[in-house]
Amino acid sequence: QTDQDRPACLDQTTPEKRTVYPVNMLRKTAGSVGLRVTQQREGIQRLSPGPHGDKHASTTTSSPTVMGPSSKLKTMDQLGGPSLLTTLNWLFVKGYFKTTQQLQIEHSRIYGPLWKSKYGPLVVVNVASAEFIEQVLRQEGRLPVRTDMPHWRSYRELRNQAHGPLTEMGVNWQRIRSILNPRMLKPKHVSSYTNTINDVVSDFIHRVSLLRETNGGGVMVHDLTAELYKFAFEGICSVLFETRMGCMNQVVPEETQKFIFSVGEMFQLSPIIVLFPKSVWPYLPFWKQFVAAWDHLFKVAEGLIQQKMESIQQKVHLDQSVEGAYLTHLLLSDQMTVTEILGSITELLLAGVDTTSNTVSWCLYELAKQPEVQEQLYQEVMSVCPGDELPNSEDIARMPYLKAIVRETLRLYPVVPGNARVSVDNEIVVGDHLFPKDTLFHLCHYAVSYDEHIYPDAHSFLPQRWLRGAPEKSRQHPFGSLPFGFGIRACLGRRVAELEMYLLLSRLMKHYEVRPDPAGTAVKPITRTLLCPAKPIDLQFVDRPAKQRRAV
Ligand code: HEM
């Protein structure tokens, strides 16, 4: 193959043509505030274990093998399931490519709770019962691996970028999580974001008003999910950077809009790319799009980090105290290089957009269909937080029905409909099968969420099933619905996401009664890595009586 034959995107792998991360500028700024930026001799930036990283290096990753009387166990070869051709037929002829969540249900009906399938070059063991999901997760080892995410990791190799918590593995993942966790998951830190998030909620409520007036005949908000993407991006940026992105303005800045678009595009292209062997990716037309989407995500994150570094630098020069939000803490704590911080912040940003927004969209969609549930929620919110008061995290703690509603929304519409684990440490036993080390398990959470044995009347939106003392609560399997995942690899943003969703929903309830689209449009979910609405959700937002509206 001559150089001329090489697709342009392959050239991006050559050091001369790679996008050079502006290390000098960062080094200059970083140096002045005591930060470290690493660069390898050949010009490639690499993760450098910070001062606290090496201590984990000798940590053993092994966990005890769970072995039964192995002679009676069946092997992975003996496990049934569709061939690659059959799977492709389901995906592209029967048309399940966009509704792979539904395919989980169809296939578990045919093959039972455990089956093997091929997804392009990948061999996957699908797990669709709460008991078996529990068995996989209980054997995930000390350094769990979700999947090795070859396509996401390839981008980082291509551009010499660092991995963040989503894509990193092994001891370095553990080190990153130990640095990122406290201010994302500890209640005292999370509740300190309340005012920041409440400001974004206020702006969102004004935006709803504006949209109704300008484009909705005084009552309708069209494509609510698109609006909630903006809310979620603004929310996560305000938590991470204490910076407002202008997403709630009448005209949303182009960069921001493009960030939101790039997140969606990257998620949409991901399942298509992994259908092909890695060797052909650079020749795929959509590989370029995938790379461009990631480029934009990293570019926006990098701009925001630089801004923050400059503002810290200014404060240091003026001898002012430097305090601030999540990123300020990361930059000042000197536990990660700036390259690593960029890798992590980019992943936090992208994880923070489609997740909360899709969940809130489904929640409002269901509340609109169920006025009595909505009324009960409204009464709860008003009794805890009457009149003009803005809810805070203590108020939220006294809103069990609100939490049950979000829980039920995430059961019916788990934003991560299928999660994964690789048995990295040992061979493991699931059911009556013994699986070798490095088996990739696909955890079919969507299918299990609709298991009638665990959730009677599973297709109905019944938040009361999550309330303490509910008769069915004691029968629920703890691994029946795991919307934020499990164990030490579980969602890093869970607490922030919950706070965002609770504050937004409680305040929307105070202000508006949500009613369905009078056209009666039913919206079903599709999967583009994450579960999202197949078409726009349009809802009516009707003002609550004026005396309760002054709060905004
Ligand atoms: C409704 C909202 C959300 C849901 C349902 C959700 C769900 C999940 C799930 C299921 C996982 C995989 C966990 C596992 O493998 O056990 C995950 C991972 C992750 N989430 Fe979330 N998420 C949400 C919001 C967020 C937000 C707002 C952020 C960012 C602030 C975030 C950041 C992350 C990160 C960084 C990981 C990777 C953790 C790791 O691998 O160590 N998530 N999330």
pLDDT tens sequence across 345-392: 999 999 999 999 999 999 999 999 999 999 999 999 999 999 888 999
Residue 121: DSSP 8-state: T
Q: How confident is the model at residue 547 (pLDDT cuts 50, 70, 90)?
A: low
**Quick one: angle between helices 400-412 and 354-369, nearest 10?**
100
69-80 pLDDT, tens digit each: 556 899 999 999
Is residue 359 a contact partner of residue 413, using CB atoms and an 8 Å limit? yes
The residue contributing the CA closest to ligand 1 atom 32 is 493
Ligand 1: which atom is nearest the Cα of residue 168?
40
Q: What is the pLDDT of residue 70?
A: 53
Q: Is the pLDDT of residue 66 over 50?
A: no
**pLDDT bucket at 325, cuts 50 / 70 / 90:** confident
pLDDT: which is higher, 448 or 51: 448
Query: For every residue of 164-223, which 3-state class applies, written as one string?
Result: CCCCCCHHHHHHHHHHHCHHHHCHHHHHCCHHHHHHHHHHHHHHHHHHHHHHCCCCEECC
Residue in 481, 491, 504, 505 to alter for ligand 1 test, most ligand atoms within 8 A of Cβ = 491
- Residue 495 sits at the vertex; the CA angle it makes with 489 and 496, to the nearest 5 degrees, is 115
The pLDDT value given to residue 318: 86
Q: Identify which of 548, 531, 551 has the alpha carbon closest to the alpha carbon of residue 361.
A: 531
Q: Which of 50, 30, 37 is nearest to 312 (CA)?
A: 30
Å from CA of 495 to ligand 1 middle: 10
Q: In this prediction, what percent of the chain has a pLDDT beyond 70?
A: 86
Residue nearest to ligand 1 atom 31, measured at CA = 493
Over residues 67-90, the mean pLDDT reads 87
- The mean-pLDDT minimum among 13-27, 127-141, 203-217, 504-518 falls in 13-27
Atom of ligand 1 nearest to the CA of 358: 1
491 is in an annotated binding site: yes
Long-range CB contact pairs, 370-377, < 8 A, 24+: 370/461, 371/515, 373/405, 373/461, 373/463, 374/509, 374/513, 374/514, 376/401, 377/401, 377/402, 377/405, 377/505, 377/509
Instruction: Using alpha carbons, list the distances in angstroms from residue 391 to 397, 504, 507, 542.
Output: 10, 10, 8, 21
Does residue 520 or residue 21 have the better pLDDT? Answer: 520
Confidence of residue 521 (pLDDT cuts 50, 70, 90): confident
79 CA distance to ligand 1 middle (Å): 31
Does 489 sit in the ligand 1 pocket, CB within 6 Å?
Answer: yes
Which residue CA neighbors atom 30 of ligand 1 most closely? 493
Is any atom of ligand 1 closer than 6 Å to the C-beta of 166? yes
Radius of gyration, alpha carbons of the chain: 24
CA gap 207, 247 in Å, rounded: 10
Q: Whose CA is nearest to atom 17 of ligand 1?
A: 491
Q: Are strands 440-443 and 419-422 parallel, antiparallel or unpaired?
A: antiparallel
Q: What share of the chain in percent tops pLDDT 90?
A: 77
Residue 414 has pLDDT above 60, yes or no: yes
pLDDT at 467 > cutoff 70 = yes
Residue 312: HSE in the Cβ half-sphere, 13 Å Cα cutoff: 28
Nearest CA to ligand 1 atom 6: 484
pLDDT at 65 over 80: no
Ligand 1 centroid, distance to 349 Cα (angstroms): 11
Q: Which atom of ligand 1 is nearest to the CA of 489?
A: 41
For residue 98, name the pLDDT band (cuts at 50, 70, 90): very high
Task: Read off the pLDDT band of 44 (50, 70, 90).
Answer: very low
**What is the whole-number distance in angstroms between the Cα of residue 494 and the centre of ligand 1?**
6
Distance 1 CA to ligand 1 centre (A): 42
What is the 3-state secondary structure of 83-98?
CHHHHHHHHHHCCCCC
Q: In the structure, what pLDDT confidence band is assigned to residue 39 with cuts at 50, 70 and 90?
A: very low
* Secondary structure (3-state) at 14: coil
pLDDT-based confidence at 10, cuts 50/70/90? very low
The atom of ligand 1 lying closest to the CA of 177 is 41
Nearest atom, ligand 1, residue 410 CA = 5
Residues 168 and 414: their CA atoms lie apart, in Å, by 24
Q: Would you say the pTM of this structure is higher than 0.95? A: no
Task: Say how many Å lie between the CA of residue 91 and the centre of ligand 1.
Answer: 26
- Confidence at residue 475, expressed as pLDDT on a 0 to 100 scale: 82
| Separation of CA 486 and ligand 1 centre (Å) | 10
Q: Is 146 in the pocket of ligand 1 (CB under 6 A)?
A: yes
Ligand 1 contact, 497 CB (< 6 A): yes
C-alpha 248 – ligand 1 centre gap (Å)? 24
- Residue of minimum CA distance from atom 18 in ligand 1: 491
